[in-house]
Amino acid sequence: MTTEPPSLYEWAGGLAAFERLTEAFYREVVADPLLEPLFGGMDPGHPRYVALWLAEVFGGPAGYTEERGGYSHMLGQHLGKAITEPQRRRWVSLLMDAADEVGLPDDPEFRAAFAGYVEWGTRLALANSQPGAEPPAEAPVPHWGWGVAPPYQG
């Protein structure tokens, strides 16, 4: 008898784990001189919205889609921001530090999947944020699994 492995969302600890992660993370982001220009005036609900996004991406409920509108809304948050590669790298580094701080699972399988999504997502955000970028306006929210990325469609 085989059983399905838990989703990354379940393995991480559910929405509460992602809320702890984003609260700790954005405390550092707004104090960071490289990232503050992008996030200094963010909506106070932003950490929760990102927690909902991550929860949905990693196999949890579709809370971000229901509350915020899914992919098209997330895309709109990045258009025209002209994110730089140093800002992307700092964002990734601070998120990984926050994952350690709040005690997200540190087993290699989970962290590899988590890091894989973070790299993939931040590289898309960087590209989509550039002046003149024309990303697709509609796409599904990615659903990330254990070593499984969404298929690339060019």
pLDDT digits (tens, 9 = 90+) for 67-99: 999 888 888 888 889 999 999 999 999 999 999
Q: Does residue 19 lie in a domain region? A: yes
3-state secondary structure of 145: strand
Q: Which residues contact 7 (CB under 8 A, 6 or more apart)?
A: 58, 59, 60, 145
pLDDT at residue 151 is higher than 90: no
Q: Does residue 107 lie in a domain region? A: yes
Q: Does residue 83 lie in a domain region? A: yes
**Domain CATH number, residue 124:** 1.10.490.10
Q: Does residue 140 lie in a domain region? A: no
- Domain holding 99, by residue range, is 8-128
Q: Does residue 135 lie in a domain region? A: no
Residue 26 gets which letter from DSSP?
H
3-state secondary structure of 148: strand
pLDDT band at residue 115 under the 50/70/90 scheme:
very high
Q: Does residue 81 lie in a domain region? A: yes
Q: Does residue 68 lie in a domain region? A: yes
Q: How many helices (H) and strands (E) does the chain have?
A: 8, 0
Q: How many domains does the chain contain in total?
A: 1
Phi (first) and psi of residue 137, to 5 degrees: -75, -25
pLDDT at residue 3 is higher than 60: yes
Q: Does residue 62 lie in a domain region? A: yes
**116-133 burial by CB neighbour count: b if 16+ within 10 A, else e?**
ebbeebbebbbebbeeee
